[in-house]
Amino acid sequence: MPHDTTEARTRPVIITGLSGGGLSTAAKVFEDKGYFVSQNLPPQLILELVDLAAADDSPVDRLAVVTDVRASMFKGSLMSTIAGIRERGYDPFILFLEARDDVLIRRFDSVRRTHPMQGDGTLQSGIEREREAMEDLRASADVIIDTTSLSVHDLRRAVEASVGELPLGRQHITIESFGFKHGSPRDADIVLDVRFLPNPYWVEELREFRGVDQAVADYVLSQDGARDYVDNVVELLSSTLGGYRHEGKDFITVGVGCTGGHHRSVAVAEAIGKRLSQQGQVDVNVIHRDLERH
Query: Which residues are annotated binding-site positions for GTP?
Result: 68-71
Contacts of 2 (CB under 8 A, 6+ apart): 9, 10, 54, 88, 89, 90
Task: Enumerate the known binding-site residues.
Answer: 68-71
Distance CA 255, CA 189 (A): 8
Distance CA 132, CA 135 (A): 5
Cα separations (Å) of 88 from 11, 56, 250? 11, 15, 21
**Are residues 161 and 33 in contact, defined by beta-carbon separation less than 8 angstroms?**
no
Quick check: helix, strand or coil at residue 77? Answer: coil
Pair type for strands 143-146 and 93-98: parallel
